[in-house]
Amino acid sequence: MSDLKRVAIIGAGMAGLTLARALGGHAAVRIFEKSKAVGGRMATRRIDDVSFDHGAQYFTIRDPRFRDMLDAAADDGVMARWGADIVSLPILSSDDRSPVDTARERDPRYVGTPHMTSVPSWMARTCDVAFDTEVASIRHLAGAWVLQTHAGDVGPFDWVIATAPAPQAAALLPETFTHRKAVLDTAMNACFTLMVTLRSGADTPFAAARLEDPVINWISRNDRKPGRGARPCLVVNARPDWSDAHLSDPLNILRQNMLAALRRHVPLDDDEADSAILKRWRYANVARPAGQPFLLDSSQRLACCGDWCIAGRVEAAFQSATRLADALVPLLKEPAE
Ligand SMILES: Cc1cc2nc3c(=O)[nH]c(=O)nc-3n(C[C@H](O)[C@H](O)[C@H](O)COP(=O)(O)OP(=O)(O)OC[C@H]3O[C@@H](n4cnc5c(N)ncnc54)[C@H](O)[C@@H]3O)c2cc1C
């Protein structure tokens, strides 16, 4: 029998996949993912022959280890630089103008090809992922951890690592988790994302735009990212403050309000407006991070990582998981109790 420690990772987004890959060979790792696919907020929705990256729009690469991994992804054709200029559309009316981080704006931007999900799918090739498996709770039993899922208990595991967004991780981790307060003190914003299919040949004077608008703050032409289909289409994000304020409103009303906002910047005919589909991200971006790159409770063999430990970016999710793996690998060599 293998003497490798058994590690359960909850979530197959960038953080969970990065962690699983880094622990490979040091532990017997299994990822539990509640949805049918990997990627989490690196997400792509396909509607007929049109695809929308309706989560992360692009990512930056500053960390050398992130670059090493993504160089290999680029060699395999699943990642490319997105060279589009992001324009700022005229200010309409807003009292709450978020400052633009000009240093970030200068960084080159990258996307998965042909979809944003292509990168996590490529990462997952070497990972053991149980799909459609939502972890409802975890409990300690006879010196090990057992995960409760809709399909029954799974385990035992020596370690459990939660990579779900902070509020979801907080619901899973036991009250005795040493860093529980740091998880609870983290704040995340919602985001409503509108996906609109334009008529063939439709033009917009930009590939992507940041806006100072009371309702929406981002429009991108998804078809102008590398390797996408020819049909013009838009991904439109609502502002974090507006999304939080309207989190529980009926989706048909929110859809109408976002379309009205979009029409202030882009003309739409009725067919284009009718095509609009709305996605609600309850936990999209990080308003207040945990302020530590990861949260590790070695006495209970529990940990958390994810973008929310550092900042709401794909690269931050990678960094959080990589740094947790650096700390975990020596601990995985410790003898069993
Ligand atoms: C609309 C939007 C736009 C964004 N734009 C950008 C951008 O332009 N650039 C950028 O860098 N970042 C952007 N981000 C943020 C970026 O997507 C995230 O920082 C990153 O993808 C987070 O990765 P993660 O692995 O930490 O979390 P996630 O991707 O959220 O992964 C967590 C996973 O855990 C799973 N899970 C949760 N609970 C359970 C459970 N109980 N059991 C099993 N599985 C569970 C989820 O299904 C999910 O797959 C954006 C996000 C959104 C939503």
Judgement on whether residues 23 and 110 belong to the same structural domain of the protein = no
Judgement on whether residues 111 and 198 belong to the same structural domain of the protein = yes
Judgement on whether residues 140 and 195 belong to the same structural domain of the protein = no
What is the distance between the alpha carbons of residues 54 and 51, in angstroms, rounded to a whole number? 9
Strand segments (E) across the chain = 5-10, 27-32, 45-47, 50-52, 79-82, 86-89, 109-112, 129-130, 135-141, 144-149, 152-157, 159-162, 187-197, 208-211, 216-221, 233-238, 277-288, 295-297, 302-304
* Average pLDDT of span 248-272: 96
State residue 282's pLDDT score: 98
CATH of the domain at 294: 3.50.50.60
Query: Binning pLDDT at 50, 70 and 90, where does residue 105 land?
Result: low
Judgement on whether residues 247 and 308 belong to the same structural domain of the protein = no
Atom in ligand 1 nearest the alpha carbon of residue 191: 1
- How big is the CA angle at 169 (ends 168 and 172), to the nearest 5 degrees? 95
State residue 151's pLDDT score: 87
CATH of the domain at 77: 3.90.660.10
Residue 67 has pLDDT above 90, yes or no: yes
Best mean pLDDT range from 2-6, 138-142, 257-261: 257-261
Mode of pairing for the β-strands spanning 27-32 and 5-10: parallel
Type and span of the H or E element at 331: helix 314-332
Judgement on whether residues 142 and 104 belong to the same structural domain of the protein = no
* Average pLDDT of span 118-140: 97
Threshold 0.85, pTM exceeds: yes
Query: Binning pLDDT at 50, 70 and 90, where does residue 259 land?
Result: very high
The boundaries of the domain holding residue 80 are: 48-116+187-287
Query: Binning pLDDT at 50, 70 and 90, where does residue 337 land?
Result: low
Ligand 1 near 213 CB (within 6 A): no
Which residue's alpha carbon is at the smallest distance from atom 52 of ligand 1?
Answer: 55
Residue 285 C-alpha to ligand 1 middle, in angstroms?
A: 8
Which residue's alpha carbon is at the smallest distance from atom 14 of ligand 1?
Answer: 56
Ligand 1 near 56 CB (within 6 A): yes
What is the pLDDT of the chain when averaged over all its residues? 93
Residue 314 C-alpha to ligand 1 middle, in angstroms?
A: 8
Judgement on whether residues 192 and 167 belong to the same structural domain of the protein = no
Judgement on whether residues 265 and 202 belong to the same structural domain of the protein = yes
How many structural domains comprise the chain?
2
Judgement on whether residues 265 and 337 belong to the same structural domain of the protein = no
